[in-house]
Amino acid sequence: MPERVQKVLAGAGHGSRRKIEAWIREGRLAIDGRTAKLGDTVRGDERITLDGRQLEVQAVPPSHRYIIYNKPEGEIVARSDPEGRDTVFEKLPKLKGARWVAVGRLDVATTGLIIFTTDGALANALMHPSSELMRRYAVRIHGEPSAGDLAALKQGVDLDDGPARFESIEASGGEGRNKWFKVSLREGRYREVRRLWEARGVEGSRLIRIGYGPLDLPRKLRRGKYEALTPAQVRSLYVSTGLKPPTEVRRVQRHKKYRKNR
């Protein structure tokens, strides 16, 4: 059955429905050469273009795919880099008729969990501020934060782009002036974890994302490697955002090349 064009494009990972609706209002989107209008439906075999550039969709969309990736230091979360740095997308399995969408970004020096899916609507819901999904990090700091510093970080401090705070802070070891903490927060602003510590005069020397929403970074997943999510994990992602899970949530193809790169 035909679907609204914004739903089809969002499902293919081209942006949120709201963003695509903005393209339509601005007259930037065309369907088979005709300027698209709000309410237009498509089957998926039409030629859909944005500013004259064709957008890739499929008439019969495949089952969406979902993986978790352990990002190493030095990789950037971008499809290409003018400086020639490695990108996370270079390590992911190749797709036809779909594309990977990263759930959240990590800066070049931060390691750890990134969720990837071909369901653009799910990715946007997971990242939207209204979802308030918890991001969890292990951070090594260089310094001696006082009890007052830790209390302030939980109560809230003013950053350049507004107030921010940790939902939780838990000491987790370390020696001398190098201490490890586990922290959580409900936002994903640029370098927010590092900037929170810096606001109290403490340097974060290492940062690892260990959890996002209902998912935790698997202990056995090595850096630079990925693995498919289980059906239960996939369902938990949809439920956490209030979205209805697909009728059939199945594990991504289990052949060795895709299930897990070793």
* Dist CA 53 CA 64 (whole Å): 24
Signed CA dihedral, 223, 226, 229, 230: sign only: negative
Helix (H) or strand (E) holding 203: strand 203-212
DSSP H helical ranges for 182-228:
192-198
Catalytic residue of the set 45, 51, 107, 216? 107
| Residue with the two structure tokens 């927010």 | 192
CA–centroid distance for 141 within its chain:
25
Exposed, middle or buried: residue 256 (CB in 10 Å: 0-12, 13-18, 19+)?
exposed
Question: Which has the closest alpha carbon to 196: 245, 137, 238, 262?
Answer: 137
* DSSP per-residue letters across 37-95: -TT-EE-S-S-EEETTEEPP--SSPPPP-EEEEEEPTT-BSSS--TT---BGGGGSPP-
Question: Which has the closest alpha carbon to 153: 49, 226, 41, 143?
Answer: 143
| Residue 86 annotated among the catalytic residues of the structure | no
CA–centroid distance for 33 within its chain:
33
Active site amino acids:
107
